[in-house]
Structure 1
């Protein structure tokens, strides 16, 4: 199995853990449903992530430090995430409701390839950083400040809800020949015993650099 496949499986296991087990023990007793993607925001039938047309030349690698998604009020610091001894991705600290994490052994946002950023949808106190991810629209702007002083600007191509038992890991995680970004959080129905039943994924590509 190649490194990309290993990373994909590790991310998938980690996202399931982030969206399930923690919420089983800490889910809010009073929960309002997080926004879910509209059908119109998904890729059109038979289509998928773009092939690179209309993208900006990728940047070199540099760690991200902050993410902003103005359309849904996200303005949060970022932390690197690694894999635990069990091969699962370590989730961002659940106690910090305004914190997003990125797989620091993977592609940094803005560099060539597929960068993955994850955040909690909620915690015991209420909505967390990516609570409104499901309400994001095509064309929305995502900005990622990087450690090299530059800001990578992305445009959202689609927002989809994927059942966790039928998660399209190749579609989400496979490396692209341009700079792409995936924002991931929990979504779908919620079960007290098993947590959220799916994941909301926003797909985006690099369109500018500041």
Structure 2
């Protein structure tokens, strides 16, 4: 299991300045040419590499192409990897696949055919570690409603439970939600360094543009309870 150092992740933050969600479209048309055949029409997560670029949906991966299973000093035991997330108040209960980076440097997302499965971005920390752990899920795909379709209904104080591969269940309490334009995604706020044991959930939100893609992102902020 590979890990990236905190300094490497901090150095990458300027590149993440254009990270945004671009998918979860509910229209019936095909997406741009960057979309991988068999996936949803556009990427759920934008690129950490080149400003303005749009990621393509991965075929999905149970092992990350890049990123880490948590942070820590060299020689530390690997962090426990998350395997399941649930939000009892919303009836959400999903396995967690691992998401790394695509070959073009964009963040992987769950494939459309696994729209009811959320994914943990392994380039950040594991949930429960100090830092920001990020979980990504579709709002909907061409197959219909997806795992985070009702995430907009979550309330402050709601419980989010994450089970890891060592059998422990970690609980997080929602502290805030934020709807932002994809053009002004708050990269530092979401992915930046924090001493808290934080969890971020990300999906699409808002009205649709002319191509049928949601123009906003919904971000849920939570801390270990």
Q: What TM-score range do you get, normalising by the shorter chain? A: 0.7 to 0.9
Q: Which residue of 1 aligns with 2:207?
A: 189
Question: If each structure's strand is expressed as a fraction of its own residues, which one has the higher value?
Answer: 1
- Aligned pair partner of 2:148 in 122, 130, 146: 130
Q: CA, structure 1 residues 188+24, in 2 after alignment: closer, same or farther (shift >3 Å)? A: farther
- TM-score w.r.t. the length of structure 1 is 0.75
1:28-62 Cα distance to aligned partner (Å, 9 max, x none): 9xxxxxxxxxxxxxxxxxxxxxxxxxxxxxxx821
- Aligned pair partner of 1:177 in 195, 213, 219: 195
Does the CA contact (< 8 Å) of 1:114 and 1:175 recur in 2?
yes
Q: CA, structure 1 residues 171+105, in 2 after alignment: closer, same or farther (shift >3 Å)? A: closer
Q: Which has the higher contact order (CA 8 A, sep 6+)?
A: 1
Does the CA contact (< 8 Å) of 2:22 and 2:215 recur in 1?
no
| Counterparts of 1:169 and 1:24, CA distance in 2 | 30
| Counterparts of 1:5 and 1:202, CA distance in 2 | 24
Query: Does 2:168 correspond to 1:150?
Result: yes
Question: If each structure's helix is expressed as a fraction of its own residues, which one has the higher value?
Answer: 1
- TM-score w.r.t. the length of structure 2 is 0.70
Does the CA contact (< 8 Å) of 1:68 and 1:75 recur in 2?
yes
1:149 deviates by: 1.2
1:177-201 Cα distance to aligned partner (Å, 9 max, x none): 1210000000111124161101000
Q: Give the stretch that moved more between structures: 70-79 or 184-193.
A: 184-193
Structure 2: which 5+ runs fail to align? Answer: 1-6, 32-39, 42-77
- Aligned pair partner of 2:119 in 101, 113, 134: 101
Structure 1 segments of 4+ aligned residues over 6 angstroms from their partners: none
The equivalences for 1:80-99 within 5 A come to 80-99=98-117
| Counterparts of 1:24 and 1:100, CA distance in 2 | 24
SS at match of 1:16: coil
Q: CA, structure 1 residues 99+23, in 2 after alignment: closer, same or farther (shift >3 Å)? A: farther
1:39-93 Cα distance to aligned partner (Å, 9 max, x none): xxxxxxxxxxxxxxxxxxxxx8211000000111110000000101111011111
1:125 deviates by: 2.4
1:5 deviates by: 4.7
Q: Which residue of 1 aligns with 2:9?
A: 3
The equivalences for 1:17-96 within 5 A come to 17-19=22-24, 25=30, 61-96=79-114
